Structure 1
Amino acid sequence: MSEQSVLLLKKQLRELTQNPVDGFSAGLVDDENIFLWEIVIVGPQDTLYEGGFFKALLTFPLEYPLLPPKMRFTSEMYHPNVYPSGEVCISILHPPGEDTYGYEQASERWSPVHTVETILVSVISMLSSPNDESPANLEAAKELRENYPAFKKKVQRLARRSAEDF
């Protein structure tokens, strides 16, 4: 499978390089490793993250596209759907099949039709519309619900700092 994975990832990288998509950039961390990508997401306009530049890593398994990659922000991120470690928790990055907890439908989870572009568009959507009902970061979800002004201040400070560090 890994030979097919390499070809598919090279194709997706070439497409993103030739036809950049607004909102993010993607490239390899090391030209010798097609399975590790560095991502920069531009904070979406009209959100608390606007103006920020958030770095992340996408790590693809050898079984890609049968299994999803993992995405982890390396820039500081405060969001209900991002673990304190930086790992992104959204449905399309969860392994295919039924959710053992019954929260997600199989159709919401990973499918081989997803591409780097669809993943990153979903992450940008996540930044725009946090899901605080199934949080990865309980503190961020609680603050979003119970003390929005404090949440807003913290996120806007992060966005400014990420732009300065970029």
Structure 2
Amino acid sequence: MSSAPASANLLKRQLKEMQNNKDIPGISCGLHKDNIYDWEVMLMVSDDVKYYGGGFFKARLIFPKEYPLMPPEMKFESPIWHPNIYPEGKVCISILHPPEEDKYGYESAAERWLPVHTPETILVSVLSMLSSPNDESPANLDAAKMWRENLPEFKKKVRKCVRDSLEDAY
């Protein structure tokens, strides 16, 4: 009998599935320091994605031992300017919030983490979030304000992030 927690076995299977799945272009995953609970992720954003197209963004998914009952944390290591990404890189989207009622009443429990989510659904949601920011509940207030009030300047700042991500990727 294996002494590894069930979450480790599930993550091993999900990592292997993601590495073998050619249906999701632009996502590459591997382990950070051989730790099944710490994934390195590369998002190669397709050119047709608004604003961030062409970028190569490095991120990490850190899974709790309670996974899949509790969500992982996702953090961009590449600098990225986005209303739903904190300045230090942590991603703020509903499906990564713990499965409980929102104390602020903004999200329903159904919008938050559910054990049916997988690393794949998280990363697909993050790719979608890049082109469709939610500026009503921002993690980066300055980016949200710029998104609403000065879209040309927002686009210029994002283009710099994309250029910088390309330099960091090589």
1:83 aligns with 2:119: no
CA distance in 1: counterparts of 2:84 and 2:125, whole angstroms = 12
Structure 1 stretches of 4+ with a deviation exceeding 4 A read: none
In the other structure, the counterpart of 2:15 is 13
Q: Superposition pairs for residues 29-68 of structure 1, below 5 Å?
A: 29-31=32-34, 33-44=35-46, 45-68=48-71
Report the counterpart of residue 146 of structure 1 in structure 2.
149
For residues 125 and 19 of structure 2, the distance between their equivalents in structure 1, rounded to whole angstroms, comes to: 19
CA RMSD after TM alignment: 1.3
**C-alpha separation in 2, matches of 1:23 and 1:95:** 27
In 2, the alpha carbon distance for the partners of 1:123 and 1:23 equals 12
- Return the match for 2:130 from 110, 127, 135: 127
Offset of residue 46 of structure 1: 3.4
Q: Percent of counterpart pairs with the same letter? A: 62
Aligned-partner residue type, residue 80 of structure 2: M
* 8 A Cα contact 1:98 1:106, kept in partner: yes
Runs of 5+ consecutive residues of structure 1 not aligned to the other structure: none
Q: Give SS of 1:34's match.
A: strand
Q: 1:117 aligns with which of 114, 117, 120?
A: 120
8 Å contact from structure 1 (residues 23, 41) kept in 2: yes
> Matched residues in 1 for 2:31 and 2:152: separation?
37
Q: Distance in 1 between matches of 2:16 and 2:44?
A: 20
Separation (CA, whole Å) in 2 of partners of 1:161 and 1:86 = 15
Q: TM-score scaled by structure 2?
A: 0.94
Q: Distance in 2 between matches of 1:46 and 1:61?
A: 30
Q: Which ranges in structure 2 are unaligned for 5 or more consecutive residues?
A: none
Number of equivalenced pairs: 165
Distance 2:53 2:15 in 1: 26
How far the C-alpha of 1:134 sits from its partner, in A, is 0.4
The equivalent residue for 1:137 is 140
Q: Per the alignment, in what secondary structure is the counterpart of residue 63 of structure 1?
A: coil
Distance (Å, rounded) in 1 between the aligned partners of 2:53 and 2:44: 7
Paired residues of 1:68 and 1:94 also in contact (CA < 8 A)? yes
TM-score, normalised to structure 1, is: 0.96
Q: Which shows bigger deviation, 148-157 or 41-50?
A: 41-50
